[in-house]
Each structure stands twice: as C-alpha cells, then as structure tokens.
Structure 1
Amino acid sequence: MTVIDTLLELDRVLDYCSQQASSVLGKRRVLESQPLNDLAEIRRQLALVQEMAGLLGQAALPLQGLSDLSPALRRISVPGALLDRDQYLPLKDLLFAAGAVRRFFARSGDHYPLLAGLAAGLQDFEPIVAAFDRVFDPAGEIRDEASPELKRIRRQREAEARRLHETVDKVLRRWADQKYTQEDAPAYREGRLLVPVKAEHRGKVQGVVQDESATGATIFVEPLEAIVIGNAIRRLNSEELREIHRLLLELCDLVRGFLPDILHALDLLGQFDHIYARARFSRQLNGIAPALTEEPYLRLLQARHPLLVLKEGSRVVPLNLELGGEAGTILVITGPNAGGKTVALKTVGLFCRMAACGLHVPAMDGTVIPVLGALHCDIGDPQSLDQDLSTFTSHVKRLKEALADDARPKLVLLDEIGASTDPAEGSALARAALLHLRDQGALAVVTTHQGTLKVFAHETPGTFNGSMEFDQETLRPTFRFREGLPGSSYALEISARVGFPDDVLQVARSFLGEEKSRLEDLLTRLNESLRQSEAVRREADLKRTEMESLRKLYSERLKELTRTEKERLQKAAQEARELLEGVNRRIEAEVRAIREQVASAAGQVSSASQSLAEGATEQAAGLQETSSSLEEMASMTKQNADNAQQR
C-alpha cells in the first residue's frame, strides 16, 4: 500500500471489502489488491464483479471457509510426506468446491460468460473426493470401513476391551469383599484399567502397582489377569496406527499425482472469492461499474464517498463533478472549513483508485473514470521531523514531484495549495504551478481559502471555480458542490456561531478592509441568490413531476373510458346481429309455411285460393319489408361500432 493510497484511505476501503469474503483466500487477495493500469484488464475485472453481483441471490458458490493449503500441498510434493491430521478435511472441501464451481458454470455459463471462462480452468476432482469420503467421516474421523484390516483391528480391540472390563470388575469385587479396595470402581491411569487398593494391603494383592495417590494412602494396581489383556489392546492400538498411516499415505500419494491441478484450483478459487467479496461490497454500497477512458477526462454523477456511505447510508450528500470537459481541467474548490472540500478531493482520487482495483464505485451510471498514468496527492500535514522537513517544505517537495511527472493522463490533488507560507508568495507559487499543470494537460483538483486563486480560476482559460455551499440561515455547511462559483470561507460567521467575542469580531471586520468586505458580501449575496434559485428550481421540478403524474393518470383514464366505450358498442353490434339473424330465420320459416298452405288450398277451392293467395302474398311482402328494415338497423349499428374503433 503506497503513501497516496493511505492518504486517500484506500486501505480502509479494502479492509471493509475484505470482510465480505467467504474465506481467507479471498480476504487476503482483497487486502493485497494493487491498482491496475491496463484498460482492458480493469474492464474485465469490473465486468467479472458485475456478473457475480447478478449471481448473488440466484445461487450460492461453495466458497465458505476455504483454507490456504498451499504450504501443506507443497510439503507433500516429497514422496512419503503426509499432511497434518487437521488438513485432510479442508483439502477435501477445497477439492469438492473446485468440482462444484466447475459443474455450476458448465450448466449456467451462458448467463455468466466471464465467470464461466474462469471456472473452465478448474478440474473435477471427484475420484479424490470419493477416496477421502471412504477414509474420513463428515467429522474428520477415520471410518471403521476405511479398510477391511482396520475394521478387523477395531472389532478385535472392542472385544478385548470388554474382556478387560469384565476381568477387572471381577477382581475388584473379590478384593472388595476382602476389604482391600479404597473405592468401588476401577480407575484409569495412562490408558490402563487399575484397581484402587489401600496402601496397607500392598502385599496382599497380586498385580503390578502402576501409580499411587498424592497422599500415599491409595495405590493403583493392575491385576495380573488384566496385564495380558492390556498388552493385547496396546498391540492392537499400534496395529491401528500403522494401518491408518498406510491409508493416509495412499491418500497423499493420490493427491500428489494431481498436485499441479490442485494448486491451480486453489489459486482460481481464491480469485472467485476475491470477485465474490467485491460483488457483495458493490451491493453494500449500491455501486456501479464506471465507464473507463484513457483520455484526461473524469465525470462523477451522484458520487458518494464509500466510507461515508458505510457510516451514514442514504444521508450522504452526493457529488457531481466534471474534469476535462468544457469548463477546464483545473478545478479550484473554495468554501468554509469542514464544508466538504477535502472529502470532495478524496472522493475524486479514491474513485480512480477503486476502479483501478476492480471495485465498483457508489455513483450513478454515466460516471467516467480515467485510467491514470500517474496520481499525485498532497493532503494533510506532511511535516517530517525525521527528514528535518517543515510543513511548507514537504508541500513544495510533493508539488515538485507532481510537476516533474510527464505521465498521461495525470491527476493531481492538492489540499490547501499555497498555504503554510506568506499568502502572497504562496498564491503566486500556486498560480504558476496550476498554469504548468494546465499546459501539461493534467487533471487537477485543488482546495484553497485564498481569494486571489478564486480570481485566477475565473479569469484563466482551462481553469474554473467550484465551491461548497454554506447555509446563511443556519450558518452550517450543506456539503453540496457547486461548479462555476467561488465560495467564501465564512471564517467570521463561523466564529460568531461558536461564541467568539463580538468586540473582537468587529475589529476583525475592520481589518478586512472595505474592498475585501465588498467582495465577501458579493459572494455571500451571490450564494444566497443561487440557493434561493435552486430552491425555486426544486419546487418547480416537484410541481412538474406532479403535473406529469396527473397527465399520465388522466391519459390512462381516457384510454380506459375509450376502451370501455368500444367494448359497449361492439357488444351492441353483436347483439343486433344475433337479433337480426333470429328474426330472419323466423321470417323465412313463416314464408315457407304460408306458401305451403297456399299451394295445398289451391287444389280445393279455386276462387277462395285466389283470394287467399293474394293475402298470403301481401303478408309475405310485409315480412320481407320488416326483414329489410332490421338489416338496415344492423348495418347502422355495425357502422357506429366501426367508427368507435377508429376513434
């Protein structure tokens, strides 16, 4: 971590980010992050974080608790070497995670192409994992079924242990009946099952004294009958250790054959956890992947200092700032103390460093960050007693280094430029340095309280003013940045707010001089006018938003009414068509019936049929006329429905 990164508090940001890692592998990579200077690689890292952020909540990668086993793995590269007993289970977890991550992205790689490409480098170590599962249970203990020989040894040992207890209990009861024992239960000493005997009966029992109490009143005797059984158990214990050693040696031999692939998998899983930590940190900050450029240009939209976001949340006042645009490349920020000038300065530099480390930044889309060739930073008091440097000398030394660097694009951040010396000389030196930086094509953000630099920034092409807003009513800073306007330091106003003596303030104002007072009053009135204008603008924006909402609501209601009217007319037309069809069917049926009746009666009564036929004809004609009227009505109804649809 460089001095500049410490000044910008990148180390603190990385520490917070590392807490989002799932394992020591990812945490260490986050803490060891170094800013990159390759545009393509930075874009790739930001895109990897973007993909991982999209994966969060959709699936869980098995990265939790992975250990750094690289030293142990390198140790077993020597044939015959073994892992420590507490390293086998972590190694199995690592091998399982490698296979699981590979299989997941083999299935879902279309949605996460960059992560899938990274996962393709992992191997599936299923045969090794299966071998570990045959030897170890989930708690990390050696299974009885790890081998037939181990199972035989443990079963035989259990049988011998039962026989030993039975033998010792029998001896204990016999000696207890003879009043030789001190207690009614056997005791364990160094893995041996012993009978507690009163010391005065030492010569009355047959066995080997293995221990005695602190007072000497009790001796612990291993009965002769138990010695043979105990020796058999200890022999079986030795056989068990040899069999376990053989099993572990086989496992390590198996691992040794895949050692390069396993070490590569360890590295890749560390990269995955590094990406995972950055993605979770991005979600925590509500961050975005900024656009990148190799040109000397920077634009921050709704940028918020990450440490303030973690502390204050949504209450942080965002920063909008542009460097390298039409306004210029050199920004001079003025305003009151504790008004946010240094925070704005640090935010610019920290965003550049975060992006170069592959970290998302808490801002809005449209933010543009340059990939810097050099970053120079002078913030705080760099006085060094060890190097016999005064505050001013240290400032000048850092300024000289910034001016001498010809890298492009270059960003220079200078807090309180020209301070710590005679104001006139400091201002002259500052103006000359800013002109040099402008001519180099560098980006620069400087803070100051010197009025001459405000005038310089206003009059000099390529340089421009900016200020931090101050509320005249509350006499408190608002932390809002305003581009293009110089700000006042409000030293006397702030002093009055904290209770500084009025008579002293009056004398101080008289020392300022009439010209200086007019300039400060002008700045104050200008700032107040701007504040009121912004309040009016915000109110107008609110009203415009309300009117737009109402317009949208009325438009939706009109569409709904039009749709309802269309549906009603269409329904009426359909009903009319159905009515017409029914009437037509009835008329046709009536006409057929009448004609049939006329034809039948015609053969019977000639004169009567003639009269009847004429009447039937008239009735049929009337029905036909009714049918035509109904058809005309249906046509008009359909025309009305069609007109409604066109509207």
Structure 2
Amino acid sequence: MNHKAYKALEYSKIIHMLTDKASSSMGKDICRKTEPSTDIEEIRHMQTQTRDALTRLFQKGNISFGSVKDVRGSLKRLEIGSSLGIGELLAICSMLENTNRVKAYSRSERGDSLPDSLDGMFDALEPLTPLTTEIRRCILSEDEISDDASSTLRQIRRNMKITGERIHTQLSSLVNGSARNYLQDAVITMRNGRYCIPVKAEYKGQVPGMVHDQSSTGSTLFIEPMAVVKLNNDIRELELQEQKEIEVILADLSQQTAAQTDSILADLNIMVQLDVIFARAALAMDMNATEPIFNDEGRIRLKQARHPLIDKKKAVPIDIRLGEDFDLLVVTGPNTGGKTVSLKTVGLLTLMGQSGLHIPTLDRSELALFEEVYADIGDEQSIEQSLSTFSSHMTNVVSFLQKANRHSLVLFDELGAGTDPTEGAALAIAILSHLHEQGIRTMATTHYSELKVYALSTSGVENACCEFDVETLRPTYRLLIGVPGKSNAFAISSKLGLPDYIIEKAKEQISEQDESFEDVLTSLESSRVTIENERRQIEQYKKEVETLKAQMETKQEKLEDQRDRIIRQANEEAHAVLREAKEYADQTMKMFHKFQKDHVDLAAVEKERQDLRKRMNKAEKGMTQKTAVQKPKKELTAKDISLGDAVKVLSMNLKGTVSSRPDSKGNLFVQMGIIRSKVKLSDLELIDEAEITTPTMQRTGAGKIRMSKSAHISTEINLLGKTVDEAIAELDKYLDDAYIAHLKSVRIVHGKGTGALRKGVHNYLKRQKHVDSFRLGEFGEGDAGVTIVELKK
C-alpha cells in the first residue's frame, strides 16, 4: 500500500504502540516493519491468532519473551566449527530457558479448553533442558566458570589455592618478622599478577628479590622476595593451565550446542512469532478491541467504533456503514464537529484490521479487504486556504483517479476546498460521480450544500452528518448516517453575540432555494431527535417487560413445583392406604379358608368378621381424611355460572372468581389471588360472598338482607405504612362499619416487615366481641402479610 496513506492516517503511531508491546529485540523489529496484508486468508489467520492470544492473556495473565536474543550469528559460527564464548552460550541458554517457561505457560490450566491456532506453535517448542542444565552447571556467570565444569579444572584450582596459601605463609613471615623494619606498610600486595611486599627505597638491598613496581614518589618499591619467586611462577603456570582447561570446556559445550542448532533456530523463530502475536493481543487488551469480520464484498459495518489514538474515556463511539446500500458517503457538518476523525477512523481501522490487529469497536463489526487505501486528509481547515494547498490536494486527487479501482478505499477531507465555492462544488460532484460510477468505496467530508443535494438525489450515495448542539455550541461527535448536516454558521454566530441585523442581512444573501433546503434539514434534525428519544424510551420499556416476564415465569415454575409436590404426596398417601386395605383383604381371605378347613363355629367367625370390619372402617376413615376429594353441595351446569361469580375450587381448597365461560368440555378459568388456573365445572362450588355493589337493601341468593351501608364498605383495609396507633384507630372504625354492613369476612393488609404492625392488629382483634375468628392469609391470599377476619353474624 502507498505510504502517503500511512502518514495521513497516522498508521505509524499504531505501529509504535505495537512495537512497545513486544518483549524481544527481534520481535520489536518485526513489529516495526508490520504492514497491512492484501491476502484475506492471511488476514483471517492473523486475526484468529490475535484472538487466541488475547484469550490466553485474559485466562493466564501476561507472558514475557524478554530473554529471547538474536543468536543467529552464534549459530552460524557453530555451523563452521567455531567455539562460542561464555556470553554467547549464556544467551542461547537464556533463550532456551525462556522457551521452557513459554511452553509451561501453554500447558498451565489448559484443562478441557478447546484447541486453538497457537497450540501447534507451542507444541513445536523444544526447550532442550539437558543442554541448558549442562551450560548452567559449567558456567556460573559471564565472568566465572564453575569448579565442577571438569575434574581437571577442579584439580588446577585446588593446586592454585594450595600454592597461594604457601605464598601467603612465606610473605607473612617476612612481613611480621625479619623484614618488618624495612617495609613501608605491613601488607601483601600484587603487581603484574605476582605477590609483592612494599619496601622502603633505602632498604631495597636488605630484601633480596625482583622489583616489579615503585610508588609515584619513588619512596616505596614493590619487591617480589626470592623466597616466593618460584611459587609465583607456579601460580602463573597454573593460571595458564586453568585458561586452557576453560577453553576445552567451552569447546565441549559449543560442540553439544552445535548438535542442536536446527532445534535452537526453530525455537528462536517460533518465540519471535509468538512475541509478535502476543504484542498484538496486548495492544488489543489496552484498546478494549475486538476481532473484525472480513469480507471481500467491499462492505464496511463498524459498530461503536472509536479512534484508537484518542483517549478511550473521551472518544465518542460512532456507527459507520459503507458498501452495502451505498458505496459513497458524504459527511457534512460544522467545523470541529468530528468529520475528519470519522474519516480517519474508517481508514485507520481498515489498515489495522489488515495488519492482523483487533479494532476498537463492538463485537461482530465488519471490514472489507482493500488492496489500496488512498487518503487525502489535510491538517489545515481554516477558511483562508492558499492556492498551493488546493494544488496539493488536487495533485493527490489526480493520482487517486489514475490508480483507484473497485478494490480501493478512497477518503477525501474537504474535497474541492481552497478555491471558488461554485467551481469547487462542481469539481467535487464530478470527482465523486466518477468514483461512484466505477463502484469505488468512497467517503468524503464537505461543507458544500450542492454535495448534500447530490447525495440526496443520487442512488447509491448517502448523506451523513456529525451532530452539533447549537445550545451549547459544542459538537457531540456522533455520526448520523442518512441525515445531511447543517453548517450552523448563523446559529453559532448568533450565540457568539453577532447582531441580529447582520445575521438577517446575511440571510438575504442566500437564495430562497438554499434557505428552504436548510429549513428542511432543521425539520429533519428535530424529527430525528424526537424519534431517537422515543426509541430509547421503548428500549427501556422492553427491558422492564422482560424483567416482569422473567419474574412471572419464576413464580409460575414455583407454583407448578408446589402443585406437583402436593399431588405426588397425595398419591403416595393414597397408595399407602390402598396397600393397607389390600393387606386386610388378603388376611380376611386367609382367615375364611382357615375357618373352612378347621370347621370353626359361626360365633368365632362372626367375632373375627367384626374385628376386621372395625379395622376396615378405620382405614376407610383415614383414606377419607387424607385423599378424598370434597364433592360440591350441588352439581353445577354452565347456566349456573356467570363471569365474576365467587366460587370455591374444592380440589385446591381455594376461593376465587370465575374469569371465563365454560368450554364444551366443561373447563373454565378461575382467578385465585395471583393464580389463574383452568379447572373443571364439577370441581366448583358457588359461595355467598358479601356484596358491596348495591346502594339499597336487597335480598341475596341466600336470602340474606344487605343494608345500604355495604355500598360504601370495602371488604379490605390497607394499613401499610402506618404506625400501630394510627392503624388501630382506623381499624376500629372500619370493623364497626363492616359489622353494621353485615360483612361476613374482611381482609386486613398489614404487610410482613418487622411484624410489629401484625402483632398490634392481632392483639386488638383478640379483644373485639364482634370478631368470631381471625387467621393469617394462605398461599394466594397474601401469606403472612394479610389477616383474614371472620365477623360474627
């Protein structure tokens, strides 16, 4: 791709950020040279690798490739038979140890994880542990070889130690004995690798030996006494032997390393590749980026895209579409409104995606494969643009028109600016029309109203604008596709204090057609804001409905579970009773057979029969109490039931209200508190509930007379939120009215809470003479938050 687009879109800054994420020098070099690919399969493979590396980073944390150094030169030297130095062997050892850590990282906590695109690379790594162990055994640091590197080296160093101790013994006897008066200081020092003592210059004849050095003043001579000359010579010989043995050890280690050069080189290449892949993943983690879906159909669909070089806390996400319903997008709006940022976002994310990098968008965003990206984006956006600027932009446009094809993405910033507005608009329309006819994906920003009209009137061309808040004089930076933008020059000028008469005079200079067009844009913008607000409200309502639906489904599941448990328990109890009855029957038959064979008299048979009858009656009574279903006092027909009738569901022992007419099979729906259940007509019994609908006295179906007071008395009183004293005062008056109205029962709602209100209500009810009984509500009636009171007749 052309490097002008890299510069215009600031692609190099992204590459710099990527390079910083790499650990090794070789990995940084590869990152620094990263360029977008035009092979869609290669791009998809790189994106998959980045995604898998990102998953591993989230699961296991960071991984380092910092010990991976470029050892290719050392491996070349091994191939031609050279020996390596201590530093080179340690570099290879560090790289192999890092390889071992990376391989262990790939194995840790894998468990049942699915295989990914990086498994093959991790599996191909060979840490060569025996070689690294041997190098570490022999080499302690870059300055030290271990005594255990060889037995010969150990013996040499032992002899050196013994000889050195003999030298110190000889010199110590001189320093502390006969030569003490001739010495400048009572110390043993070294000069030119040989042990010496500091002798005063005037006494040099008193200490026979070899002079190796003197002080700067000449007052002190450093003499090697004759007694230790041979021992010092022995030390030098041993040092030469030591150096020779070290060279033998290094040659041996180099030979062992040379046998593994292919594996080491393969490890190096894989480690560098992994370093680059994990650098891409680390960058994606920092940007909160996702994997884009690539297509070769020229379709771009970015969801909540952010410019990667803008602080993600400040960047305003935008939605961008191109290449599906339209291949040319004209972005309009005021200055500093975000048009250029929108343009750069599309171009830069395209380059990043084709480089294998994730992009800062929502998941499932789409990018198209482009062989070239052409971008004409100028940094100057002032009104007074010079001719040279126009010439520069037009030079870019000419080169784009010569090279661009259907596999190119073309980006224009302020197309046609810098010259006469009429001519500039005409040129811009001609250029965009040419690109549109060739099907080239194009995005352009402009101020010209003529381009807005062109986009509105041309098929396959779409308007877009960057939203601007006239009240605050600030852009929102949101991109709105399908809506042409206004320059808002008059509104901004008015807000900034420009006199109205000047603005009115300016409006007179605009043609009626242009003014009408601006009015249409204003109306469109107002409608769009209204629709968007309503859409947000609808989304909120949808969420609330989903929440309520989930709560109802949970309650329904609990009810069904409870119903199944009750039915299962009843069946088990019924089976137990039947099993007991069967055992009684079997025992009875055995008795009769026995009596028949033994010829027992009739009195004994009758006595046994009476005992069995008592046991059967007892079993029958238990079965009736546990499993028998109550029968209605009167068999009901469809004509007997009306909507709203108060009924009792006998099988469930619950009261409810008829909410539907019976069907052909005699099934209907009954509302029992919060439960609405389908039951059979034969399972219902009409009940006489207090009527509160008639203002005058009338006779009910049961022949009871209701007074007019009952027209104003509810069968329920709500005491929620009241103190005990307030509640008792209100309850006292209510119960008097209910008793006068001849209500059979009332419902007191006091809630659960701390239980203080419920306790106060119950203490009050115990003292009331016209209260027959009271109880807490059952399931479906309000549970412990409600008390049902039966009043005396």
In structure 2, the partner of 1:536 is: 534
User: Can you list the C-alpha shifts for 1:113-157, whole angstroms capped at 9, x where unaligned?
Assistant: 532333565556345334423422377742211112111111211
**Closer/same/farther in 2, CA of residues 601 and 246 from structure 1, 3 Å limit:** closer
Moved more, 186-195 or 358-367: 186-195
Tell me by how many angstroms 1:216 deviates.
3.6
In structure 2, the partner of 1:312 is: 312
In structure 2, the partner of 1:339 is: 337
1:396 aligns with 2:397: no
Q: TM-score, normalised by structure 1?
A: 0.86
In structure 2, the partner of 1:614 is: 606
Distance 1:510 1:465 in 2: 24
Tell me by how many angstroms 1:427 deviates.
0.9
Moved more, 83-92 or 5-14: 83-92
User: Can you list the C-alpha shifts for 1:416-442, whole angstroms capped at 9, x where unaligned?
Assistant: 111111111111111111111111111
Q: Is the contact between residue 296 and residue 443 of structure 1 (CA under 8 Å) also seen in structure 2? A: yes
User: Of 396, 421, 424, which aligns to 2:419?
Assistant: 421
**Closer/same/farther in 2, CA of residues 633 and 449 from structure 1, 3 Å limit:** same
User: Can you list the C-alpha shifts for 1:274-293, whole angstroms capped at 9, x where unaligned?
Assistant: 11111222222222221111
Moved more, 54-63 or 200-209: 54-63
Tell me by how many angstroms 1:360 deviates.
1.3
SS in 2 for 1:317: coil
Moved more, 18-27 or 185-194: 185-194
Distance 1:110 1:404 in 2: 51
| Greater per-residue strand proportion | 2
Q: Is the contact between residue 292 and residue 353 of structure 2 (CA under 8 Å) also seen in structure 1? A: yes
In structure 2, the partner of 1:135 is: 138
* More RCO (CA 8 Å, sep 6+): 1
**Closer/same/farther in 2, CA of residues 268 and 207 from structure 1, 3 Å limit:** same
Distance 2:599 2:259 in 1: 115
In structure 2, the partner of 1:13 is: 14
Distance 1:496 1:154 in 2: 93
Q: Is the contact between residue 387 and residue 418 of structure 2 (CA under 8 Å) also seen in structure 1? A: no
In structure 1, the partner of 2:324 is: 325
| Greater per-residue helix proportion | 1
Distance 2:585 2:169 in 1: 113
In structure 2, the partner of 1:45 is: 46
**Closer/same/farther in 2, CA of residues 307 and 171 from structure 1, 3 Å limit:** same
Distance 2:199 2:577 in 1: 117
Tell me by how many angstroms 1:524 deviates.
3.6
In structure 2, the partner of 1:606 is: none
Q: Is the contact between residue 303 and residue 362 of structure 2 (CA under 8 Å) also seen in structure 1? A: yes
User: Of 475, 478, 489, which aligns to 1:477?
Assistant: 475
In structure 1, the partner of 2:407 is: 409
Q: Is the contact between residue 291 and residue 368 of structure 1 (CA under 8 Å) also seen in structure 2? A: yes
Tell me by how many angstroms 1:537 deviates.
1.8
Distance 1:601 1:75 in 2: 116
Distance 1:8 1:393 in 2: 20
Moved more, 333-342 or 571-580: 571-580
Q: Is the contact between residue 335 and residue 487 of structure 1 (CA under 8 Å) also seen in structure 2? A: yes
**Closer/same/farther in 2, CA of residues 253 and 282 from structure 1, 3 Å limit:** same
**Closer/same/farther in 2, CA of residues 110 and 560 from structure 1, 3 Å limit:** closer
User: Can you list the C-alpha shifts for 1:213-271, whole angstroms capped at 9, x where unaligned?
Assistant: 33444333333323322222222222111111222223333333443443333222211
1:458 aligns with 2:456: yes
Report matched runs for 1:238-253 at 5 Å.
238-253=240-255
Tell me by how many angstroms 1:91 deviates.
0.7
Q: Is the contact between residue 574 and residue 627 of structure 2 (CA under 8 Å) also seen in structure 1? A: no
Q: Is the contact between residue 291 and residue 359 of structure 2 (CA under 8 Å) also seen in structure 1? A: yes
Distance 1:211 1:491 in 2: 91
Report matched runs for 1:622-633 at 5 Å.
622-628=614-620, 630=622
Q: Is the contact between residue 299 and residue 367 of structure 1 (CA under 8 Å) also seen in structure 2? A: yes
In structure 1, the partner of 2:275 is: 273
**Closer/same/farther in 2, CA of residues 79 and 617 from structure 1, 3 Å limit:** closer
User: Of 477, 485, 488, which aligns to 1:490?
Assistant: 488
Moved more, 102-111 or 11-20: 102-111
1:235 aligns with 2:237: yes
1:90 aligns with 2:91: yes
Report matched runs for 1:8-407 at 5 Å.
8-56=9-57, 57-58=59-60, 63-80=65-82, 82-98=83-99, 111-119=114-122, 122-123=125-126, 125-137=128-140, 141-174=144-177, 177-178=180-181, 180-308=182-310, 311-313=311-313, 315-326=314-325, 328-381=326-379, 390-407=388-405
SS in 2 for 1:530: helix
Distance 1:417 1:584 in 2: 99
**Structure 2: tracts of 5 or more residues without a match:** 630-649, 653-666, 668-674, 680-793
SS in 2 for 1:364: coil
In structure 1, the partner of 2:770 is: none
Q: Is the contact between residue 573 and residue 627 of structure 2 (CA under 8 Å) also seen in structure 1? A: no
Structure of higher CA gyration radius: 2
Tell me by how many angstroms 1:53 deviates.
2.0
Distance 2:258 2:604 in 1: 117
CA RMSD of aligned residues (A): 3.7
Opposite residue 460 of structure 1, the aligned amino acid is T
Opposite residue 513 of structure 1, the aligned amino acid is I
**Closer/same/farther in 2, CA of residues 539 and 197 from structure 1, 3 Å limit:** farther
User: Can you list the C-alpha shifts for 1:495-530, whole angstroms capped at 9, x where unaligned?
Assistant: 566x56548964784575363455445434432432
Distance 1:340 1:204 in 2: 95
Moved more, 430-439 or 122-131: 122-131
Q: Is the contact between residue 370 and residue 409 of structure 1 (CA under 8 Å) also seen in structure 2? A: no
Distance 2:168 2:678 in 1: 101
Tell me by how many angstroms 1:611 deviates.
4.5
Tell me by how many angstroms 1:486 deviates.
0.9
Tell me by how many angstroms 1:181 deviates.
2.6
Q: Is the contact between residue 26 and residue 271 of structure 1 (CA under 8 Å) also seen in structure 2? A: yes
**Closer/same/farther in 2, CA of residues 15 and 248 from structure 1, 3 Å limit:** same
**Closer/same/farther in 2, CA of residues 533 and 152 from structure 1, 3 Å limit:** same
Q: Is the contact between residue 330 and residue 464 of structure 2 (CA under 8 Å) also seen in structure 1? A: yes
**Closer/same/farther in 2, CA of residues 91 and 337 from structure 1, 3 Å limit:** same
Distance 2:625 2:174 in 1: 120
Tell me by how many angstroms 1:361 deviates.
1.3
**Closer/same/farther in 2, CA of residues 238 and 565 from structure 1, 3 Å limit:** same
**Closer/same/farther in 2, CA of residues 390 and 307 from structure 1, 3 Å limit:** same
In structure 2, the partner of 1:513 is: 510
Tell me by how many angstroms 1:352 deviates.
1.3
Q: Is the contact between residue 381 and residue 391 of structure 1 (CA under 8 Å) also seen in structure 2? A: no
**Closer/same/farther in 2, CA of residues 525 and 139 from structure 1, 3 Å limit:** farther
Distance 1:510 1:197 in 2: 107
Paired residue total: 629
Distance 1:115 1:147 in 2: 41
**Closer/same/farther in 2, CA of residues 167 and 431 from structure 1, 3 Å limit:** same
Q: Is the contact between residue 186 and residue 196 of structure 1 (CA under 8 Å) also seen in structure 2? A: yes
In structure 1, the partner of 2:728 is: none
Distance 2:537 2:34 in 1: 45
User: Can you list the C-alpha shifts for 1:266-322, whole angstroms capped at 9, x where unaligned?
Assistant: 2222111111111222222222221111122211112222222xx234x43222111
User: Can you list the C-alpha shifts for 1:567-588, whole angstroms capped at 9, x where unaligned?
Assistant: 2443344345446656776x57
Identical pairs, percent: 31
Opposite residue 606 of structure 2, the aligned amino acid is E
Distance 1:228 1:557 in 2: 103
Distance 2:61 2:304 in 1: 31
Distance 1:508 1:137 in 2: 88
In structure 1, the partner of 2:704 is: none
**Structure 1: tracts of 5 or more residues without a match:** 604-608
Distance 1:259 1:372 in 2: 41
Moved more, 443-452 or 524-533: 524-533
Opposite residue 79 of structure 1, the aligned amino acid is G
